[in-house]
Structure 1
Amino acid sequence: MQTEDSTYADRLKTLQFARWKQLLRVQAPYQANLRRQGLGRTLDVGCGIGRNLAVLSSDSVGVDHNPTSVQIAREAGYTAYTVEEFEAAAYPKESFEGLLFAHILEHMPTDDGVALVNSYLPYLKPGGRAFFICPQERGFASDETHVEFVDGTKLLSMCDRVGLTPDHVRSFPLPRMAGKLFTYNEFCLRASKD
């Protein structure tokens, strides 16, 4: 399975809208964590079907290389584009207060991740924030499309390579040791553009 085909988008939809997840509101702590970052108007890079767009400010924009995912996000009422559509829309540089890279960097080799961040960094205002979320070990193993494990050290190195000033890496929602067993434990890092 590749992340750009409709099968992947359908998988995301099935996972997100599982009845038990809706009843237990399992996304609530993750949504609260994202809100706490104070990202403002955000460009959600790798937005998928729009799960995080539901939490970000209403003027936020998503971009994804999977056209089926983008269509699902649009049907939910979010502003989302394919990569080509986003480029054609010609958003001005420095037009976003935040950039979000949630569960995307682990889908590519490190150098490709650096190139991806660099390609969207011009859209971030000076003083703006980038927020990175990557799965820990159990989450990484749960998806066959994951390519490279991205831990806190790699996130800090990436920030250095692209010129962002990072805060400290956090393990969320549980302490770091839980990441080997709990699928949904994540590395989170917020960084700022000088």
Structure 2
Amino acid sequence: MSMSEPDTLSTAEAAYTQRLITSERSGLKRLLPTQAPYHWNLRSLGLGGIRVLDIGCGIGRNLAVCGAGSVGVDHNPSSVAAARARGLVAFTADELIGRGGVGRFDALLCAHVLEHLTETDGTALLASYLPMVRPGGLVVLITPQEAGFASDPTHIRFVDADALRAIASRAGLEELHNYSFPLPRRTGRVFRYNEFVYAGTVPGVG
């Protein structure tokens, strides 16, 4: 992320990367494939077989299930290094400059990022990367519901289904889906891993 962010002092540091790694290995996650439903959801949207630009890729949890030629970008150098250590292709925003091109990717994924940003910065972030997605390409936006939002002190703005639709509309996207996953919407108040999922397309024909 290349613009000013209110949570930069936490999410851009090595300690935040370590927190992501620790969380990935804690509790039931050590014994059960808890990410499997979320990876299934990404594949069901089509991200498993196409070139995806994963904005805010972190340590590569979602990037790992995207198609060949996919690239992650994150403002935390430690997270980028962790993703690379997993054999993934990831860059900081500055490193990505000059490596991408207009229409290079088939899709854009922005998962659990917008809740870390102000409305203005979130809109600007999306606008800055959309030119790298081909016309007709897919855009997937994912944010946590109430329990998930409350679980992380670096979250600064609750972005629900209507807010995702508004962000996408300002970006000129054409909506395909807007739903709650993996459980019904009301569950998000107690189940921290329930998500808002928006999918739309970039105008034009690829």
2 CA distance for matches of 1:169 and 1:156?
8
Pick aligned residue for 2:17 from 9, 34, 37? 9
Query: What's the secondary structure of 1:54's corresponding residue?
Result: helix
- The SS at the match of 1:168 is strand
Correspondence for 2:186 among 177, 187, 191: 177
Per-residue deviation, residues 114-144 of structure 1 (Å, max 9, x unmatched): 0000000000000100001100000000000
Residue 151 of structure 2 is matched in structure 1 by 142
For the pair 1:122 / 2:131, whether they are aligned, the reply is yes
Look up the match of 1:25: 33
Superposed displacement of residue 19, structure 1? 6.0
What does residue 78 of structure 1 align with? 88
Regions of 4+ moved over 3 Å: none
Q: TM-score normalised to the size of structure 2?
A: 0.91
**CA-to-partner distance for each residue in 1:71-112, whole Å, 9 max, x for gaps?**
0000000000001000142x1110000000000000011111
Letter of the 1:43 counterpart: L
Superimposed CA distance per residue, residues 5-34 of structure 1 (whole angstroms, 9 cap, x where no aligned partner): 011000001111236314211100000000
Instruction: Please say if 1:36 is aligned against 2:44.
Output: yes
Give the AA of the match of 2:164.
L
Partner residue of 1:68 out of 54, 78, 81? 78
SS at match of 2:68: coil
RMSD: 1.0
| Cα distance between partner residues in 1 of 2:63 and 2:95 | 18
**2:113 aligned with 1:104:** yes
* Structure 1 gap segments, 5+ residues each: none
Other structure's SS at 1:62 match: strand
* Count of paired positions: 193
Distance 1:119 1:27 in 2: 29
- Aligned counterpart in structure 2 of residue 189 of structure 1, from 188, 198, 203: 198
**Identical aligned pairs, as a percentage?**
50
The match for 1:48 is: 58
**In structure 2, what is the Cα distance between the partners aligned to 1:191 and 1:177?**
23
CA distance in structure 2 between the partners assigned to 1:55 and 1:44 by the alignment: 11
